Chains A and B, each alone.
Chain A
Amino acid sequence: MPALPMPDLLPALPEIVLACAAMALLLLGVFRGERSTRLVSWLSVAVLMAVLVLSAMFQGEKHVGFYGMFITDRFAVFVNVLVLIGSAVTIIIALHYNEEHGLARFEFPVLVLLATTGMMVMVSADDLITLYLGFELQSLALYVVASFDRDSTRSTEAGLKYFILGALASGMMLYGISLIYGFAGTTGFTGLAHLFGAAGGPVPSNGLIIGIVFVSVGLAFKVSAVPFHMWTPDVYEGAPTPVTAFFSVAPKIAALALFVRYLIGSFSGLIAEWQQIIVFLSGASMVLGAFAGIAQRNIKRLMAYSSIGHVGYALIGLAAGGAEGIRGVLVYLAIYLIMNLGTWAVILCMRREGQMLEGIADLSGLGRTRPGLALALGIFLFALAGIPPTAGFFAKLYIFLAAIDAHLVGLAVLGVVTSVVGAFYYLRIVKVMYFDEPLVTFDRPLAPELRAVLFVAAVLTLFFIVYPDPLMGGAQAAAASLFAR
């Protein structure tokens, strides 16, 4: 038997460049020592941007490479862009924080780069094996950055908790993968789509259904959908703040995209089987995110519940199934990325005499002491609550429209109701900022990179409606590419 030829590496060029750059920067850091943290960080940001350009240039065409293990299409490019922006902004906003808290080590940007590589592999997975490996590469790097503040008990606890529960989720996922392989005879999404990609295929056996459920559980854990969300508030609270910001955007976006590709890309014919699971995950997440957030006094925990709720909204689009729904998910993810990064940038500004503040009460009177910061946070909170004319409103609008088109009216109504409940705790912060007496004043001046992130995110959130075409068009094309198999 002659050996198979080496596969074409070009489709995975962005991922290869990113992985090699991470290793090169690691070597640079090792040889230059701790002094090189700033240099390595900025070089990492440059690499992420270069990879973004490469991905947009090379991965737009639909192409299945590596003997069916890796796929490039518009969907992958769209999500890659979001993930890369999320990672780059994380590295930028972490710079100042890490220096202040004695965490300025060059391994941080390198680990973020490697996690990003994992996420890009997840997004482009076309095989359950690739799915699992990308998932693990990402998770392992995230466990380490969660406990990056190794002298803090809370950070270590966050990392350990995340690690143990993540290992459990991985185990379930692997079990599901083995069941799918056993009952379908293939791990490739192309092969699975051949069998179950259209309605009226072979009747799936119990084993296959249970396998699909187990893999979905693993993914639901990663996107922290209820009832697999238990780890989220503790990990978000304990991890260093820039790391939490990272957790709430890039890995979630990648895992949701993987969820979409896994269910739509390979099992779209079995939608009747998995739709109810997604409907339940989505509804439960929205309800829990709305009600559990009310009692929170710590803004990092509040953001954890907020992100659980937002995952619920995004999952509505997946439950809807069609191209409309997937477009809704992608638009939602993009807007979620921007408003969430903005909010985290404000939280990173909450510091007094070098100490981070995390209480919601610490924001009181911000409207008088720091009007600019208060205005920015106000915009992000209005967007998170989904109040027009901010971008957050349109994100929810497209999701709900898709749900109604797919006859999921109950879910759409539940979404609207929980949005109203959730608006309570977002708007309470606005009230605290503008109507309460100032208690503390935050340190000045803000780091310039934080200010830049705040400004850009606020402008994008507020003025999305003026020029929505690039995002809408991109999401439309990306969703369409997923269905053109």
Chain B
Amino acid sequence: MTDAVLLQTIMFYIFAAITVASGVMVISARNPVHSVLFLILAFFNSAGLFILLGAEFLAMILVIVYVGAVAVLFLFVVMMLDIDFARLRSGFMRYLPIGALIGAILLAELILIFGSWAIAPGIEGLKAAPMTATAAHGAMTNTRALGDLIYTRYVLAFQIAGLILLVAMIGAIVLTLRRRGGVRRQRIAAQLARSRAQSVAVVNVPVGGGAGEPVEPVAAGE
């Protein structure tokens, strides 16, 4: 075992152990904010695992999208909404038996499924071989390779995914946007079009008397 492989193995176990440990903490931490912070830690360590696999693009996407957007959104939601997590957890023991039963069945099924897994004999040696840059690949990076495929081989899937996001956007607007009546909006054109006569009234105030009733300036355009 060369030094590089040894280092990789050590890094793998560090990343994997922290990922699993923080995953456990996500569901067991008492404070929901801590849960989200552990989730972020799990994301960072998974990104590390991706880098070990040579998938640097996925690693960066994981950090940018999940840590940068999703987890921060979670944090906001947890902090803004007053969710009573203690009450949500109160039924935990009551649902434990049925949950454990379903989990056990799923686990048994998974073991059954992967028991039937077979790796083609010819590719046994390729399993652990790292991807090396060959002359044919040139300086092909992950990002470049993905781009080459997404916009050609998978252009249909890519475009449909875009349409799905469009539908999500339309849906969010349709279901939540409300036009309220009686809102005072600024009308810049009307403001600029006001003349002096409409906004200033010259009142001849007699000595000893008040200005009388204030004169309403005529609002432009009303």
Contacts and interface: CB of A to CB of B under 8 A. Distances in A.
A39 interface: no
Interface of B: 109, 112-118, 136-138, 140, 145, 148-149, 151-157, 159-161, 163-164, 166-168, 170-171, 173-175
A357 B157 CA distance: 43
A210 B109 contact: yes
Nearest to A111: B170
Contacts of B145: 1
A137 B166 CA distance: 10
Interface residues of A, number: 42
Contacts of B171: 111, 140-141, 143-144
A140 B113 contact: no
Given A4-B148, A5-B152, A143-B171, A23 B157 contact: no
Interface stretch (A42-50, A126-134, A380-388, A475-483): A126-134
Interface in A124-157: 129-130, 133-134, 136-137, 140-141, 143-144, 147-148, 150
A182 B156 CA distance: 22
A130 B156 contact: yes
A237 interface: no
Nearest to A65: B156
A268 interface: no
Given A140-B167, A206-B112, A67 B117 contact: no
Contact of B140 (A1, A7, A26, A205): A1
A207 B170 contact: no
Nearest to B155: A7
A280 B126 CA distance: 43
A102 to B, nearest CB: 12
A150 B175 contact: yes
A137 B113 contact: no
B157 A129 contact: yes
Nearest to A143: B171
A6 interface: yes
Contacts of A150: 174-175
A19 B116 contact: no
B170 A66 contact: no
A295 interface: no
A241 to B, nearest CB: 18
B175 A144 contact: yes
A353 B112 CA distance: 62
Contacts of B164: 133, 136-137, 140
A66 B168 contact: no
B140 A207 contact: no
Contacts of A3: 148, 152
B167 A114 contact: yes
Nearest to A208: B116
Contact of B157 (A26, A110, A133): A133
B184 to A, nearest CB: 20
B51 to A, nearest CB: 23
A206 B156 CA distance: 31
22 contacts: A1-B136, A4-B149, A6-B152, A6-B155, A7-B155, A67-B154, A69-B154, A69-B156, A70-B156, A105-B174, A107-B173, A107-B174, A111-B170, A114-B170, A118-B163, A121-B160, A129-B154, A133-B157, A136-B164, A140-B167, A206-B113, A206-B115
Interface string A180-192: 0011000000000
Interface string A105-120: 1010011001001100
A179 interface: yes
A66 B155 contact: yes
Contacts of A12: 156
B102 to A, nearest CB: 14
Given A26-B170, A118-B160, A183-B116, 7 more contacts: A1-B148, A111-B170, A114-B167, A133-B161, A137-B167, A141-B171, A179-B113
Contacts of A23: 166
Given A6-B152, A67-B153, A179-B113, A133 B160 contact: yes
A141 to B, nearest CB: 5
